[in-house]
Amino acid sequence: MQAQQTLRSARSVTTIDLILLAAIVALALVTRLWFWQVQARSGAVPPGDPEEYYRAAIHMLHGGYHDTGKWLRPPVYPAFLALLLPPTRMNVAGALLLQACVLGIGTLVFYASGTQLFGRVTGMVTTLLAALFVPLASYASSLYAEALFVTLLVIGLALIDRALVRNSTRAACGAGVLLALAALTRAVGLYLIPLAAVWIAWRMRHGGSLSIGMGLSDTRLRRVARSKDHGAHIHPSSDVGEGAWKDTGKDASQSEQHIMSDKSDRLEIRSYQLAISLILGALLVVGPWAARNYLAHGRVILSDTNGGISMWYGTVRDDAEEKAGEARLAAVPNLADRQSLAIQMAWENIRHDPARFLARMRFKIASLYALQTRSYAVGDVISIDSRGAPLVQNAGEYRLSMTLLADVQYVALIILAIGGVCFMPHPARAIPTLLWVGLATLLAVLTIGHPRLRLPIVASVLPFAAYALVRLPAGWRHIRQLPRDRRSYMALSGVMVFLALIVSMRYIPWGAGMWYAVPGRSALEAGDLRQAETLLALAHDAHPDNPLRVIDLADLRLAQGDDRAALSLYRRAAEMERRSLYAQAMRAITGAYLAMPDEAAAGLAAIDDYWRSGNDLLEWAWTTRRRPAPDRVVPGDPMALGLYAGFAPATPDLAVGRWTLGEGRVRVRGGCGALAVQLRGPSGRRVDISIDDWGIRKRMIMNGEQQEVRLALSGIRECEFGPELTVHIVSETGLLDLERAPWYTGVAVYEVRVER
């Protein structure tokens, strides 16, 4: 009885715990809201995965699902997004703000996971690590499923441990439900369910629950038995060389305290009952989705149809093969058959050249575990400008200082996690997490080695990193005994393998260039152009193959007023890295400065070919373009990039102009005549047009046809000098076209001009 009371006391949460936990959750909210403010305020929907999730959510709100895309996406994240959009009046930025708040509070799952494995103190530290980990915070406010997937995965793994420790079929069923929800968020989690079931069945058949026989010595078991007889509170301890670091606190004792609370009749549970409960829980979630897919597509689709196509992409040998293969896949209307064909094409490539496939596996693993700083080292930064500001929403890319911080966190967490797994009291409790890490790595090897899969890998091992961090002082006190402990060599081997994956010779020339580039950029921002020219030239000479060093020189020439030289350098940087949105955007803006419409069109076309000129790019260009505005602006015209914002991407119904997202802005050079705005909107929609803070405004009711609104400018002070004016166009929004353009738009703006 006394032992049971002690166990309940160890598990109870004190007032101080609640205060600390609330403070950590508040910190998590602050970090996520900061990232939202930096990367998600534009309300743009990036192309690729985010657009597919968004389209699926919009279809859900209209009673269907997006079944006509390149592949079928799993439904949980679109359903989550569909819940967030209506309260914000279908505003994507508002929905992402709510998402950041929900997932910020969702860091509590890390407390549950750490507490389940190691106790309250480790649970608290795990939550703190999750609150501060940069990639996890940034993905919380992006249109990607990773942050939600991590939340479901972590609590699912914690419930697996709880099921094994307590022989609980309820926990096993709950784990199955949560892992299935994770699998219907990101399909990579689907294969973890049978792996976890096999592990549970094997563990129960050969070793019983995890609270019995999990690395406990006979001496410890006898001590536990005596504690039950005499009601004593056990403080297990051992030297580093014998079992675990000495631990008289609640963290290390909790696992053995479970032994005192488990009743002997639980040991009679049949070996496979927990595994069956987990599978049944998963079927409760996956079953209805699979049945729906069978009715819609005539095939069994358990999660999505993306895996086979990703596997084929991982075997493609050149651009011509990729283009031909995509055309071949697009000709197959059934999404399941399309995936089957992709798998067949992938195996054909593997059989044709197995050596090449095996050789590329190494690069895929390196891509999965590589540092994010490597993008700066090789110059393939896509969405960050030379000032460190994001051009578009692209979670996972940050300014250099934030990238370095994220990499320091990543390396430290992985090293700590390796130590935590090797030195934890009962290493078998780490098996479900290690199964996930191995599975994720294998799937990356078989597909494209996408670095976004690294986030759920790192997040899943946070409890072990936290445990190592908590036990670090005790380990330091016993540091002399570590060489005699074979687990030290296991941990060292794991760390060496990890370091081998992230080390690259590319950092050497990059570091040499950055030695001059950092002070050179500082001099450029301070206006010291002579010093900047000297340093940036040295940086380029040290690392001439890096397009970022060419961009530095282009920015310098632009600051010096040599637009033609700047354009030539931006074009050269874009040739070196065609995906550089900054090089392409500055090519378009500089082409507009030089009145070269072909150059501006080429830059914008390159952006639309790889990405999309959505409102995130428009908002960035609005703050970047510095030259005087013209008398006439046509939204969507490449020459007008930086002169309009708050607009949707190009839509097939408009050859000229663009639709606003409800609050559009256009910048023009003023005068003393009249402002004319040509626009169109659904019949009955009200639109308010105003000019800065001059009190000039007009409301119109749209009639479904193209209309022109005119506002007198004579009331503007010093209008004869042509001051720059910002025209605000505000209206209600509605769905434009569910299939072709699923954006919630206001009115179409064809032209804004000033008549003198």
- Residues 417-440 pLDDT 10s: 999 999 999 999 999 999 999 999
Q: How far apart are CA 1 and CA 228, in angstroms?
A: 9
Do residues 261 and 209 touch, judged by C-beta distance below 8 A?
no
Q: Are 155 and 113 in contact (CB under 8 A)?
A: yes
**453 Cβ contact list (under 8 Å, min separation 6):** 188, 368, 440, 443, 444
The model's pLDDT over 110-143, given as tens digits with 9 standing for 90+, comes to 999 999 999 999 999 999 999 999 999 999 999 9
Mean pLDDT in the chain? 89
Q: What percentage of the chain reaches a pLDDT higher than 90?
A: 80
Q: Which of 252-261, 323-332, 569-578, 631-640 is predicted least confidently?
A: 252-261
Quote the CA–CA distance of 712 and 671 in Å, as a whole number: 10
Q: Write down the pTM of the prediction.
A: 0.90
- Residues 194-238 have pLDDT tens digits of 999 999 999 888 766 665 333 333 333 333 333 333 333 333 333
CB 71 within 8 A of CB 55: no
Farthest-apart Cα atoms in the chain, separation: 98
Average pLDDT over residues 249-270: 47
CA distance linking residue 312 with residue 348, whole number of Å = 10
Rg for the chain, CA atoms, rounded: 29
The larger pLDDT score, comparing residue 259 to residue 530, is at: 530
In 3-state terms, what secondary structure has residue 709? Answer: strand
Q: Is the pLDDT of residue 14 over 70?
A: yes
Residue by residue, DSSP assigns 422-437 as HHSS-GGGGHHHHHHH
Q: Domain spanning 628-756 has what CATH number? A: 2.60.120.260
Buried b (16+ CB within 10 A) or exposed e, 247-271: bebbbbbbbbbbbbbbeeeeeeeee
Alpha carbon separation from 69 to 170, 226, 288, 630 (Å, rounded): 38, 64, 21, 40
- For residue 271, the SS3 value is coil
pLDDT bracket for residue 255 (50, 70, 90): very low
Pair of tokens at residue 114: 């750490």
Which pLDDT value is given to residue 272? 87
Q: What is the pLDDT of residue 209?
A: 60
Domain boundary assignment for the chain: 2-494, 628-756
What are the pLDDT digits (tens) for 675-721? 999 999 999 999 999 998 788 999 999 999 999 999 999 888 888 89
> What is the predicted pLDDT for the residue at 565?
97
pLDDT exceeds cutoff 70 at 579: yes
Q: Count Cβ atoms within 10 A of the Cβ of residue 684 and give its class: 0-12 exposed, 13-18 middle, 19 or more buried.
A: exposed
> Who contacts 499 (Cβ-Cβ below 8 Å, separation ≥6)?
none
What are the pLDDT digits (tens) for 377-422? Answer: 999 999 999 999 999 999 889 999 999 999 999 999 999 999 999 9
Residue 246 in this model has a pLDDT that exceeds 70: no
The CA-to-CA distance between both ends of the chain, in Å, stands at: 92
pLDDT for 546 equals 97
